[in-house]
Amino acid sequence: MSKTTIIGTTSWGKTLGWLLVNNGTSVKIWARTKAEAEELNRKRNPHDLSFTSDVAEAVAEADSLIWAVPSQSFRQNVRQVKDCLSKATLLISAAKGLELGTGKRMSEVLTEEVPVSFRDNVCVLSGPNLSREVARGLPAFSVVAAKKLQVAKEAQRLLNSPNFNVLISDDIVGVELGGALKNIVALGAGMVDGLELGNNAKAGFIALSWTEVISLSVALGAKKSTLYGVAGLGDLITTCSSPLSRNHHVGCELAKGRCLKEIIASTHEVAEGINTTAAARDLAQKMKLETPIIDIIYKVLFEDLSPAEAFARMTKLKD
């Protein structure tokens, strides 16, 4: 039986665990503390998931590792695990974000941190995957990407199931940037909804923002076609429209007058778009690219620009 270790007890990590168990895979999930692991093991566990806080125990004999953690703790989580790697393990990032300070994608972080012999096994999973829907067994599509298609195919065989349809790609840059940068657009779409400006305004905002995202992504090495696929446009539609989207929720609450710190404190899950906005803005500035909409979203998040004024500025932008 194939063995998979999932790093992180996030809702997405546990959902992926459920998917894999249903595929006949043995799954162990690594928790941050012994107390957390014991509590999760005590709870009713209909999917035969096993939790441990012992890194060596978690990783022992694993054929694949999946990181389902926030992007800002990703590097630390890789460092906690990398010394326990002992064979040609498949390494999968399921995180959607950019690292603050460096602007690096999670596959870049993995490649930097793991031993050289494991670097060809790095791949990423991304797509319109709201964990609550996937956990209910509703049909979904996703994309797994690696520099070598053979590695992506291995991950596809691991993850694919009747209701979780996994496509493959060799455009690891495009798949990651699609998953990360669409969260910035979702923040803005949430603001439009919170301001009750209507679907026409939201559609226009999304279209203009996505054009900006594509330009930035292509400049960073992505294939334009990837941004129009499942891991780009598909993920964008879900994140900008679903009430289950954390980033859309944050944008909506900002438009209703709540401050960002209060919103963050009131939720148990991370809205990746917040830090990704700052990282993407820094990348664009370093590359001397104009990203006016990303700049405006940044000002709402970090410089107290009101969502109403933000939208007014967006309507004045010229081609």
Give the pLDDT confidence score for residue 200 in this predicted structure: 96
Q: What is the mean pLDDT of the chain?
A: 94
What domains lie within the chain, and their CATH numbers?
3-170 (3.40.50.720), 174-315 (1.10.1040.10)
Give the pLDDT confidence score for residue 317 in this predicted structure: 80
Question: How many CB atoms lie under 10 A from the CB of residue 159?
Answer: 23
Sheet of strand 50-52: strand arrangement: 50-52, 26-30, 3-7, 64-67, 90-93, 122-126, 140-146, 164-169
The answer on pLDDT for 304 being more than 70 is yes
Instruction: For residue 5, give the H/E element and its range.
Output: strand 3-7
The DSSP code sequence of 77-113 is HHHHHHTT--S--EEEE------TTT---HHHHHHHH
The two structure tokens encoding residue 302:
């970090």
How large is the average pLDDT for residues 30-38?
92
Top-ranked range on mean pLDDT: pick from 24-38, 54-68, 213-227: 213-227
Share of the chain above pLDDT 90, in %: 86
Task: Note the pTM of the prediction, 2 decimals.
Answer: 0.95
Could you read off the pLDDT of 229-256 as tens digits, one per residue? 999 999 999 999 998 899 999 999 999 9
Contacts of 28 (CB under 8 A, 6+ apart): 3, 4, 5, 6, 50, 51, 52, 57, 58, 62
The DSSP code sequence of 118-176 is GGGGEEEEESS--HHHHHTT--EEEEEEESSHHHHHHHHHHH-BTTEEEEEES-HHHHH
Give the pLDDT confidence score for residue 42 in this predicted structure: 85
If you count DSSP H runs as helices and E runs as strands, how many of each does the chain have, helices first? 16, 8
Read off the pLDDT band of 319 (50, 70, 90): low
How large is the average pLDDT for residues 23-30?
93
Give the pLDDT confidence score for residue 86 in this predicted structure: 80
The answer on pLDDT for 46 being more than 90 is no
CB-CB contact of 64 with 26 (8 Å): no
Could you read off the pLDDT of 107-153 as tens digits, one per residue? 999 999 999 999 999 999 999 999 999 999 999 999 999 999 999 99
Read off the pLDDT band of 48 (50, 70, 90): confident
Active site residue ranges: 182
Give the pLDDT confidence score for residue 189 in this predicted structure: 97
The answer on pLDDT for 316 being more than 90 is no
Give the pLDDT confidence score for residue 226 in this predicted structure: 98
Read off the pLDDT band of 44 (50, 70, 90): low
